[in-house]
Chain A
Amino acid sequence: MSYEKEKDIKQQQDLPEKRKEDEDREFEGMLRINIANIEDELFEELQGLEGDSVLFVTQSDQLNLFGQTFRPIFCGTIIRVTQGDVTLFPVNIKMINAPFFQFPTPLSIPLEKIAHFTPNFDCNERIPLT
């Protein structure tokens, strides 16, 4: 939340009269707030991909594993999906000087950290990483 917004809210709390005015504000478009029947479509889609080989790219520019920096590009088979994360095993980290480095354990990626993914990806494929 931006500082200004935060300030706005504080002012509203301090001045209950101003808040009343806010309630009269009309939305230009229609607004529907859904608090039941929440569907988690991404979760369902990933669940459908269990057992598939998928290429994931996550948010950050680079990660660091004991001195080795690498782009967060992971390719592997989905073994488990929860509403918070997706677990890959076996999983391949695409490092520049070791593009087929197989990580010794499964790896879990938080769903909110996934930048993009593509299903049915052959992890043995060579892709330029620069």
Chain B
Amino acid sequence: MKENNLLTEINIPSNNDIHDEALINEFVNGVGKNVFILTPSYPFVFIGRIIDVVGDHVVVDVKVTTIGELENRNWSIHIHQIEVFYIEEKGMPKIPELKVDI
């Protein structure tokens, strides 16, 4: 029993790596689609079309964010910094114009 406790098992790739890589794939599959992204860092919200995935960053043509001055430009967003997102799918609700306060 005691010997068993000394055994450290390492998986390669680790669970964390698998999840991180699979998340990048979700964005690669979403190129050309509209996306809604929430991040804990400023400016918190991005809405726009996915243009490309570069490494572990997603490039979004941002149409709407919290700050008007930061809209209508390409933003490179670190995928692993994203807290919640929604990539628009056929047959699923469209991303609304979230301009108005809720």
Residues of A whose CB lies within 8 Å of any CB of B are 27-35, 38, 40-43, 58-68, 72, 74, 82-85, 87, 89, 98, 101, 104-113
Contact = CB atoms under 8 A, between A and B. Distances in A.
Given A30-B6, A59-B83, A66-B102, A105 B45 contact: no
A74 B12 CA distance: 31
A58 to B, nearest CB: 5
A113 B88 CA distance: 20
Q: Choose among B11, B82, B96 the residue with the greatest number of A CB atoms under 10 Å from its CB.
A: B11
B34 to A, nearest CB: 10
Contacts of A27: 8
A29 B40 contact: no
A105 B96 contact: yes
B72 interface: no
A87 B86 CA distance: 8
Interface of B: 3, 6-13, 15-16, 18-26, 36, 38, 40, 44-45, 66, 80, 82-89, 92-96, 98-99, 101-102
B18 A83 contact: yes
Given A34-B12, A59-B40, A104-B93, 18 more contacts: A29-B6, A30-B3, A30-B6, A31-B9, A34-B9, A35-B12, A64-B45, A66-B66, A68-B101, A68-B102, A72-B83, A82-B22, A89-B92, A105-B36, A105-B86, A105-B92, A106-B89, A108-B86
Contacts, number: 135
A66 B101 contact: yes
A104 B92 CA distance: 10
A60 B26 contact: no
Given A83-B22, A84-B19, A62 B85 contact: no
A89 B87 CA distance: 13
A107 B82 CA distance: 12
Contacts of A32: 7-10
